[in-house]
Structure 1
């Protein structure tokens, strides 16, 4: 018995004329075009969010540095991290920044931390909230990690122009 798909599910079908049993072999160009149409919006939406959160300059640098070796990874980041996860309306960008700051602190990804401190400030996180978040990470991630995170965050805050005193 066939199972009915919920009308709320984001389901879309495509019929390709003049194709029978082995559509990818019979109509490869049409299949590719259909797949690009299906998957393209996530990448485009992701790039828009990535630019809004990290800034055009950062994204432009990443795009300029893209090589054939890293191209699929850049596409992956835009599509899944920024297109699927960051566009989900369940959490605000501010809330996502709070969550995101804990991961590079826990794992020692200091370049990523600096980038996400700047993004969190742009997403409305105050200096006091940032300090409270990093203090809490000391409990769960360890004092040495939080110590390094505080130093990086302090440098990012010092580099803000104009100074954002809140």
Structure 2
């Protein structure tokens, strides 16, 4: 049976694999006494309990997160996940073509205004890489 600490460590490993060490190190360095419990919770539950479930590949989960962030207009998280997906060095990496298809597909279901913003932000990220 797994412990909270094991769940945290497994979640932290997944979080680092998906977002990259630099981003995770920055997030953890910025935690405070007020945000520490939140960081622990998302690492255990989002990054371990959900991301490490066997039902979907991490690449599929990346696509889903990008789509949901676009749909809800959570642009900071959208940019973070797009950047991480384009820079991944494993089989979870999204190509520029795959990202474009994700945004086009989501434009139909989330709306053109969301797609306008998503394409603008993604283009800025692509130019910066």
Q: With structure 2 as the length reference, what TM-score do the two structures score? A: 0.92
Over aligned residue pairs, what C-alpha RMSD do you find?
1.2
Gap runs ≥5 in structure 2: none
Structure 1 position 103, deviation (Å): 1.0
Corresponding position of 1:87: 52
Q: Work out the CA distance in 2 between the residues paired with 1:52 and 1:76.
A: 18
Structure 1 position 137, deviation (Å): 1.1
Corresponding position of 2:96: 127
Match of 1:55 among 10, 17, 20: 20
Deviations 1:83-128 (A, max 9, x none): 1111112211111111111111111111100110022221221111
Residues matched between the structures, number? 125
Please identify the structure whose Cα radius of gyration is greater. 1
> After TM superposition, where is structure 1 displaced by more than 2 Å over at least 4 residues in a row?
none
Higher relative contact order (CA 8 A, sep 6+): 2
Q: Work out the CA distance in 2 between the residues paired with 1:146 and 1:56.
A: 29
Structure 1 position 42, deviation (Å): 0.9
Corresponding position of 2:30: 65
- Counterpart secondary structure, 1:156: helix
Q: With structure 1 as the length reference, what TM-score do the two structures score? A: 0.72
